[in-house]
Chain A
């Protein structure tokens, strides 16, 4: 019955060259998080061990993605084909600088969230699997950033989606189930559209390997069916990235879970959508991006403005920050609409900045709630008197998210505005600037109400009740300051020393615009 594998010569269908252990770094993030998640899940009754295992594996993940980042920085694009089968038949993992950088930053944020979760997630949250879900979410996120196969990208999207469902309903509260249903439904529609488009693409070209598709679209051009596929992808990933007008799921769900879960979601999920848009429209089908650029520009402007208007109208800080996530997505889409190499570098820089700063803002919201007992701007107050140090931290984050110098949000906006003006798209530049101004007003409201006002709504000016906030439980503990401090250091570093970021994102954008290095990494130097 069994055919011995020696009897058939399959060597010409396989990668024969030995693989250096350093190349294993490209699959290490997925392997580590799967193994760590499985161990956490097996031991989830032991609530004391959960954070230890979880944080240990998240730390290993940071080392793995950091190593991969350095490896890619040194060697250029790295490819590994699963099970030795030659591409395009074997599933390829291909890490270019953009993917590796995003995976590294995402891992740092997940590590920070894991540490923050030690305090924020109680025994029941741990038993219901906060750490397994967080690790498996990172499997999906890192896999999506590093894969070189479009169907595999779909699989990683499913992995992170399912893990995110689990995180959303952690706690089983009514509002959480309500948010989770809306989130799940709209995200499943988006994923189905993604699958449809991928099926059509396979029917057209007979390949799912990204490098192979990149060759074929350049060879055959964008005709009717291809344009349809491109629009389907734009819709699917637009939903994932929370672009206007398909972003209802984000404000409906991001304020319901535990604050650390909101922080992870706000940092990572939408940015995976942006990354997929970049991958599809810059590397795979640049001509489709050219045809759709006016639509993308329109969507970008609408997303920016509706996002920030939403933020201005909110009184719940979590909802307010959720709208700021959306508004940031608009700025990233603006870079995609402009499409020049500097603009794409700006988008990548903005994505990195947004991953760090949005997570830090939600973590800060958790501390505000712990100190003031509420997320509502009507009930918060007097936080400046309670902790001037924390007020300073919040002010830095507020400056960063509004794009004011000297913090991380300033530089990507400078690049994007400059790119918009040099290509004559004044409307995009104007929208970015107006959004920046309105964002400063939105976060300024939080600052004035929650920090400067002496107490809850109605407290007269000049009156302060510092005694009321003296005993801040839980999240005011020192262990919270470590993750917040790490993220804050990144925000300040990217703002004051932007030169390394310019170089990394610039190189990342160049490899995406001209994917010859990407293609050669998969198919060898003969192409």
Chain B
């Protein structure tokens, strides 16, 4: 698969897909999308990059081990349920903060943090499987 065309295109394509995955993640609360789908898109970006340029390049690019990314996602998803403890509400009750910046209302919330956690769990889990499979093939 390491043709010149593919190798030239793949980095741009992957970068675009990661950007799009973040977009899908953030619009997920009110429109189709969310952490799971966003994570899948990002994981496929890493898979494409891995097919084109080798697994070592992907591992260098994402710096952390995919399983560690996954664990980080699990960690912040777990934390996102905790703020309601201090407001005497049950676990996982959503909290909203509305921030006004540059004349736009930006709604931030604990579900968003949870969704970002899901995003990382999916990215980490799927890309660690994909990278392991690709590595086996190239050996």
Among the 9-residue stretches B10-18, B40-48, B85-93, the one with 4 or more Cβ atoms under 8 Å from chain A is: B85-93
Instruction: Collect the chain A residues with CB atoms within 8 Å of residue B74's CB.
Output: 34, 37-38, 41
Chain A: residues with Cβ within 8 Å of the partner, total of 31
The answer for the CA separation of A83 and B110 in the assembled complex, in Å, is 11
Cβ A82 vs Cβ B90 within 8 A: yes
A-contacting residues, B90-115, CB 8 Å? 90-94, 96, 98, 107
Asked whether any CB of chain B lies closer than 8 Å to the CB of A11, the reply is: no
The answer for the CA separation of A41 and B75 in the assembled complex, in Å, is 10
Instruction: Collect the chain B residues with CB atoms within 8 Å of residue A81's CB.
Output: 90
Among the 9-residue stretches A14-22, A187-195, A398-406, the one with 4 or more Cβ atoms under 8 Å from chain B is: A14-22
Contact digits for B39-73, partner A, Cβ 8 Å, 1 yes 0 no: 00000000000000000000000000101101110
Contact digits for A31-59, partner B, Cβ 8 Å, 1 yes 0 no: 10011011111101100000000000000
Asked whether any CB of chain A lies closer than 8 Å to the CB of B130, the reply is: no
The answer for the CA separation of A3 and B65 in the assembled complex, in Å, is 38
Asked whether any CB of chain B lies closer than 8 Å to the CB of A80, the reply is: yes
Instruction: Collect the chain B residues with CB atoms within 8 Å of residue A24's CB.
Output: 85, 91
Q: Given known contacts A35-B78, A39-B75, A42-B75, is B96 in contact with A5 (CB within 8 Å)?
A: yes
Asked whether any CB of chain B lies closer than 8 Å to the CB of A295, the reply is: no
Cβ B71 vs Cβ A41 within 8 A: yes
Instruction: Collect the chain B residues with CB atoms within 8 Å of residue A34's CB.
Output: 74-75, 78
Cβ B81 vs Cβ A31 within 8 A: yes
| B: contact size bracket | 20 to 34
Cβ A132 vs Cβ B71 within 8 A: yes
The answer for the CA separation of A259 and B70 in the assembled complex, in Å, is 28
Instruction: Collect the chain A residues with CB atoms within 8 Å of residue B78's CB.
Output: 31, 34-35, 38
Asked whether any CB of chain B lies closer than 8 Å to the CB of A105, the reply is: no
B110's closest neighbor in chain A, by CB? A83
Query: Quick one: which of B31, B72, B94 contacts A83, CB cutoff 8 A?
Result: B94
B91's closest neighbor in chain A, by CB? A27
Cβ B85 vs Cβ A21 within 8 A: yes
Cβ A31 vs Cβ B67 within 8 A: no
The answer for the CA separation of A44 and B72 in the assembled complex, in Å, is 12
The answer for the CA separation of A458 and B14 in the assembled complex, in Å, is 68
B-contacting residues, A240-290, CB 8 Å? none
Cβ A84 vs Cβ B89 within 8 A: yes
B98's closest neighbor in chain A, by CB? A4
CB of A84 to closest CB in B, whole Å: 5
Q: Given known contacts A1-B30, A34-B78, A35-B79, is B71 in contact with A15 (CB within 8 Å)?
A: no
Asked whether any CB of chain A lies closer than 8 Å to the CB of B82, the reply is: yes
Cβ A15 vs Cβ B90 within 8 A: yes
Query: Quick one: which of A5, A21, A35, A82 contacts B92, CB cutoff 8 A?
Result: A82
Asked whether any CB of chain B lies closer than 8 Å to the CB of A2, the reply is: yes
Instruction: Collect the chain B residues with CB atoms within 8 Å of residue A84's CB.
Output: 89-90, 93
Cβ A41 vs Cβ B68 within 8 A: yes
Chain A residues near B (Cβ < 8 Å): 1-5, 15, 18-21, 23-24, 27, 31, 34-35, 37-42, 44-45, 80-84, 93, 132
Contacts beyond the supplied A19-B88, A41-B68, A42-B68: 11 A-B pairs with Cβ under 8 Å: A1-B30, A2-B29, A3-B30, A4-B107, A5-B96, A18-B89, A24-B91, A34-B78, A37-B74, A38-B74, A82-B92
Chain B residues near A (Cβ < 8 Å): 29-31, 65, 67-68, 70-72, 74-75, 78-79, 81-82, 85, 88-94, 96, 98, 107
Residue contacts A-B, CB under 8 angstroms, 19 given: A2-B30, A2-B107, A4-B107, A19-B89, A23-B90, A27-B91, A34-B75, A34-B78, A37-B74, A38-B78, A40-B71, A41-B67, A44-B67, A81-B90, A82-B91, A83-B90, A83-B93, A93-B91, A132-B71
